[in-house]
Chain A
Amino acid sequence: MGNKKSSSGGISIGARIKGMSDTNLLLVITIIVFFVMYIGAMIFQGGSFLKPQAFLNILNQQAALIIVSCGLSLVMITGGIDISVGGVVALVSMSCAVYLDYLGGNIVVSILIALAIGLAFGLVQGYLVAYLEIQPFIVTLAGMFFARGMTTIVHTNPFNVANEKFVKLKDTRITIPFLGSKNVKGIYIPAYIEIGVIVALIIVILFFCLLRWTKLGRGFYAVGGNQYSALMLGINVKRTKFISHLLSGILAGIGGFVYFMHIGSGSPSHATGMEMDAIASSIIGGTMLTGGVGNIIGTFFGVLSLSTIQNIVALAGLDEPWWIGITRAAMLCLFLVVQSIIIANKNKD
């Protein structure tokens, strides 16, 4: 943002990096790492990575995580944390599953149920955090416990939904022209994405615009950066915090429905650890837990990076169950250390 002579070659890369805001710098690192990783996988592992569908499958699988991570990034930019999202996703899928399967409900109402659950969590948690000034970690921890417990109270055992209309919706594939590939027998298989991906992309664009160009969006950064100076600037700090949690709750609701649409069943063990995945994605995407720094596009790439490394590990034949956990943690560790070193160096000058 700080570069005036953006086109001239006279400015060294170092100077350019210094001129960048923390947000942009971390974003650029994330995007570069993602592309290096993906292209590296294409070159060295080839195979399925060369097909566009491999990339689209990552989107299909992670649409819900993308949506949930957007909400979490928002809260983290404001300087808070929301660890209830995984629980909310599980509760939403279980409630919708029970409603559609046992009560024979229709899909529109089930979407409303999903939104209502998300909204309720957002409202209560936002109120407790913003207006009663309780630590967000404790509030959303209780939210997580509550959502997980409620999920088993709604229904104990996992089951698949057989509602016809829902199955039709679940199996809807949006084909993308020109990106398909031929299988071994030479039959053309079109590339496809699920509806959830469209929802996720719309939300990413919507929240990117919100954070970048609206007064409310800039308010999130201001509050996260320094809430006392934000107060001096005339920003309603409490309301901003409240809205961030509210939006995170609603996005968890939407994400829950998208997750439900992808997986088509209800289970108390759904979305286990999703909150941690979402936090990890946000961090890899350049959001800092101290607040004030972050970007929705970065979060989007964070989710993709996490998912890509998982695919690389699986394809490399390291299929022992512990490898995925260890590589993801190693990646998180790497990003955190790099981030901290860069920020420290920047602050030194």
Chain B
Amino acid sequence: MQKNTSKSSVANVFSGIFRNQLFIPIAALLLLALFNFIMDPSFFAISFGHNNAGNPVLSGRLITILDNGSELAILAIGMTLVTAASGGQDISVGAAIAIAGSVILRVLCGGQVSPEHLQAPIIVGFLAACIVAMLFGAFNGVLVAYFKIQPMVATLILYTAGRSIASWINNSQLPIVNEPKFGYFGGLIPGIPIPTPFLIAVLCMIVIALVLKFTNLGLYTQAVGINESSSKLNGLNPKFIKLLSFIILGLCVAVAALIKVSRVSTINYSVVAKDIEMDAILAVALGGNALSGGKFSMPASIIGAYVIQFLTTTLYKFNVRADALPAYKAAVIILLVVLSAPVVRDKLSSLGKKLKSGTRVKEVG
């Protein structure tokens, strides 16, 4: 078939692109961008202005996407590790965000509903949230790693109880933080026109990139995910690696919770981060990572997260009601997943081959 060397090298490059894990999310992103460009080029307009407080601000739909997608991108980091190590997903992240957010408010407001001044420094509240979220992550991790319960089922426990626990922490009250500095994390820091959530997300990405580069975390996680018993024979401790992945996810949850709570300076236990676990899992799946564990690509997951946010923003732009959003989202997801399914890909490639040798087939048939 490959008589011509130049032709075959071109074909190799193409198949290489198609096989690359980043292909699906980037293709989806480009497709969405193209669609928006055709429908309305002003989608990509970014303007520079000043907000009510006189601080410089970048605005535009792309900025909105980067801003609102931050929590999802941060969660996708932890979710990718959990998926790779345990071959399952954590469906309790939304509930865990409610808990962590509740802890932050409890510490900052000290049990009062709307105190004039903060009762504790913001960093203390955040650290408390980190510890609590990591503990709950460890709870999930212990169930998964040591009791060998399937991750989805094990995290179902926290999913059921999480929002109840969150409202219990604050005695069912909805504390309000009056300190303007607390709003920086979910809004803008005066003088910096880029939304802070995006900066936090970038910071998280840099940290995880450094960790993956300079430690064996990525390698070990993949080894455990691909074959647990052989990784054990190689001297790894698969249980600990799984536990660790859940604890890291807990840390991601705490960071996401800080942003979520900071955006509104208060919390609504039943609504905060609702369905975000589904979006986070989708981000991992869209990134082309096998949901059954094993090899993973962190950039692909993060791009997957922004694809989902891009899709959401696009739908909002076309005046889709917030509550009808899931229906359209589902249609797009199914389309993407069907197109990337191995079975469909095989069929398409065999169809392509048939078209190539179409004349011969015709003669035979």
By a beta-carbon cutoff of 8 Å, the part of chain A in contact with chain B is 81, 128, 131-135, 137-139, 141-146, 148-150, 152-153, 156, 268, 276, 279-280, 283, 288-290, 320-326, 328-330, 332-333, 336-337, 339-341, 344
Contacts and interface: CB of A to CB of B under 8 A. Distances in A.
Contacts of B333: 138, 141-142, 145
B341 A325 contact: no
Contacts of A323: 164
Interface stretch (B9-17, B23-31, B178-186, B318-326): B318-326
B347 to A, nearest CB: 9
A81 B324 contact: no
A333 B27 CA distance: 41
Contact of A133 (B321, B323, B342): B342
A137 B281 contact: yes
A271 to B, nearest CB: 15
A132 B157 contact: no
A138 B164 contact: no
Chain B interface residue number, banded: 35 or more
B156 interface: yes
Contacts of B342: 133
B159 interface: yes
Nearest to A141: B278
Contacts of B157: 329, 332-333, 336
Interface stretch (B146-154, B259-267, B352-360): B146-154
Given A134-B338, A321-B172, A145 B326 contact: yes
Interface of B: 89, 143, 147-150, 152-154, 156-165, 167-168, 172, 278, 281-282, 285, 291-292, 321, 323-331, 333-334, 337-338, 341-344
A290 B148 CA distance: 11
Given A135-B285, A146-B327, A332 B156 contact: yes
Contacts of B152: 81, 137, 289
A146 B330 contact: yes
A149 B172 contact: no
A148 B324 CA distance: 8
Contacts of B329: 142, 145, 149
Contacts of B150: 288-290
A322 B344 contact: no
A159 to B, nearest CB: 16
B161 A337 contact: no
Contacts of A146: 326-327, 330-331, 334
A280 B282 contact: no
13 contacts: A132-B341, A137-B89, A141-B282, A142-B333, A145-B327, A145-B329, A146-B326, A146-B331, A329-B164, A333-B143, A336-B143, A336-B147, A337-B149
Contacts of A144: 278, 326, 330
A80 to B, nearest CB: 12
Contact of B160 (A135, A139, A328, A339): A328
Contacts of B165: 322, 325-326
A145 B282 CA distance: 12
A326 B343 contact: no
B163 to A, nearest CB: 7
A138 B291 contact: yes
B172 A134 contact: no
A321 B148 CA distance: 31
Given A133-B341, A146-B326, A146-B331, A330 B282 contact: no
A142 B329 CA distance: 8
A135 B291 contact: yes
A280 B160 contact: yes
Contact of B148 (A276, A330, A340): A340
A326 B327 contact: no
Given A133-B342, A152-B321, A336 B285 contact: no
Given A135-B285, A289-B152, A148 B327 contact: yes
Given A135-B285, A139-B334, A148-B326, 12 more contacts: A138-B333, A141-B282, A149-B329, A156-B321, A156-B323, A280-B156, A283-B153, A289-B150, A290-B150, A325-B161, A336-B153, A337-B149
Contacts of B158: 329
B166 to A, nearest CB: 8
B311 to A, nearest CB: 12
Contacts of A336: 143, 147, 149, 153-154, 157
B137 to A, nearest CB: 15
A235 B209 CA distance: 46
Contact of A322 (B167, B285, B327): B167
Contacts of A81: 152
Contacts of B149: 336-337, 339-340
